[in-house]
Structures are given as C-alpha cells and as structure tokens.
Structure 1
Amino acid sequence: MADSARVDAWIWAVRFAKTRSAATEACRAGHVRINGERAKPAQRVRSGDEVRVRVAGIERIAVVQQTISKRVSASVAATCMIDLTPPPPPAAERELVPQRDRGAGRPTKRDRREIERLRGRGGPPH
C-alpha cells in the first residue's frame, strides 16, 4: 500500500467514522489528533503515527500499522492499526444522570436547586 494517506480517508477506511464527510468534519472540529497535534483533514498519516479520534463522546486511540485510503472489511481494517482504546467502564461505575418523568414540565426552582446539588455545582443546602 502507499506510505502515507490523508487522515480523514484513513479514519473512514478503518471504520472510526461512518462516512468520509463525517471524518472530515471531525478533523475540522478538532476531534482528531496525530501524535498529540490537531490534524487537518488533508494531513498525511504514516505508519507508526498515533491517531486519537473523538467519536460520539468516546476517544478512540490507534497506532497506524498500515496506511489505507479505501474502505475495507472490518477484519482487514483491524490489521491496519493497533487499537489502544481503553475499555469502557462497567455499567455499574458509570455516572448516573437523574431523569425527569416525561411530561413533568419544567423543573421548579426547588427541583433545579436539588439537581445542581446532586451534580456538585450547587450552593450550601438549605
């Protein structure tokens, strides 16, 4: 294969992004880093580079093994990188977000203060 490829094409080819345009937008939004530096969509990626991509709130970390610019099967894409992404925390350890009942309307001032206190941003309790 080639010795370098565009980073947006590589992200799309190894299936970090669903579409090429989504990969390009991630680069423009600053969600892609190559060796710690923000990457533009046309920046070249080479073997050995560390690529960090933030997709759907999850940071994916990979070391480029092989540069590709065409989308391939998932099994072939897995051989083109070393995935260093840490596993997600178990469901029991994830942060709980309070949910309001559907149709309950806007929170009252008292409800809002309770929510802020739960999130750790509230003032002293009354």
Structure 2
Amino acid sequence: MRIDKYLWCIRYYKTRSLATQACKKGHVKVNDQVVKPSREVYPTDKIEFRKNQINYVISVNELPPNRVGAKLVDIYRTDLTPKEAFEAQELLKYSKDYYRKKGTGRPTKKDRRDIDDFYTSPDEEI
C-alpha cells in the first residue's frame, strides 16, 4: 500500500491529497528516509511524520483494506510518539493565549477612539 494512502486510511490526514502534499514537502519518513507519496509500506515499517508541529512516530502492524473507523485504527498501527511532543503542543497553546485572548480580534470603532484619546495629549486639538 502507498504511504499516502496508508496515512489517509489510518486517519492521520483528512484527505489523501493532504497526505500526498505532506510527502512531497518532505514531512514523512519511512525507516529514517524521506519518501515520495508512492513509496510502498509494509508491516514492521517505522513511519515518522510532522503534523501540527508534532513529530508523530508510528509502527505499521498491518495494512488496512480501506479507510477504517477511528475505533479500529489501533489494529493497524502502534503509536510510538513520545509524550513530550504533546506536552510541548500544550505549552505552545498557552503561550499563544498570553498575547491575545481568543475571539477579541480587531478593535471596534469605540476602542479605536479610546486608544486615540489615550495617545493624544490634552493640549493637542485635531
């Protein structure tokens, strides 16, 4: 089975074209070698790929006949991803919240006027 199809079948990518793009960009390695999307995958292969700033490491147990349900994914792969990768993702999420609260977006017209009033001195007249 092709590597892009395998990653799509075990639900790491939503579409097969996304899995193909990841392979073309060099985000996918099989047995420590960067591979093309057409590379065949066999049981006992070790796959490393980067998705959402996490380096996943999985081992192929079996090849699925087609895309499988989420509950059946563990039959076809063993997840070897270190827990530190997920913890780093959590820390990154908290660091982004520090700068701006989610949903605040751009300032409103009233906010903009308040900011302008704050920065202009009382002596200045516009």
Work out whether the TM-score is over 0.5: yes
Q: Is the CA contact 1:9–1:69 (under 8 Å) kept in the aligned structure 2?
A: no
Task: Give ranges in structure 1 of 5+ residues lacking alignment.
Answer: 105-126
- The residue correspondences of 1:1-126 to structure 2 (distance < 5 A) are 5-68=1-64, 70-87=66-83, 88-89=86-87, 94-95=91-92, 96-97=95-96, 99=99, 103=106
TM-score, with length taken from structure 2? 0.69
RMSD: 2.3
| Structure 1 consecutive aligned stretches of length 4 or more whose deviation exceeds 3 Å | 100-104
CA distance in 1, matches of 2:88, 2:40: 36
Larger relative contact order (C-alpha < 8 A, sep ≥ 6)? 1
Higher strand share: 1
Could you tell me which runs of 5 or more consecutive residues in structure 2 were left unpaired when the two chains were aligned: 108-126
Q: How many residue pairs get matched?
A: 100
Q: For residues 69 and 41 of structure 1, what CA distance do their matches in structure 2 show? A: 18
Greater helix share, structure number: 2
